[in-house]
Amino acid sequence: MAAGVKEKKELTLEENFDLLGEITEKLQSDDLPLEEAFENYKKGMDLIKKCSEQIDMVEKEVMKLNSDMSLEKIQ
């Protein structure tokens, strides 16, 4: 790792959901400036995409495990 470069930790699904909750609360605020609201909206959409990817990955792993278990029962 190069000097001064930090590794970016991948957030868990739960952490991403928590951040989405925080962003949602901010967006519901009446005194949020338009520019800040738009930035929060973009962050929220990025988080939704990440959450969807994480859920898809877990779903694929579960399907693979179920498939592996079915194959073991057959043998």
- pTM of structure: 0.73
CA triplet 50, 56, 61: central angle to 5 degrees? 130
Q: CA 58 to CA 33: how far, in whole Å?
A: 37
CA quadruple 65, 68, 74, 75: dihedral sign: negative
Q: What is the pLDDT of residues 13-69, one digit of tens each?
A: 999 999 999 999 999 998 999 999 999 999 999 999 999 999 999 999 999 999 887
pLDDT at position 75: 63
Q: CA 15 to CA 37: how far, in whole Å?
A: 21
DSSP tag of 12: P
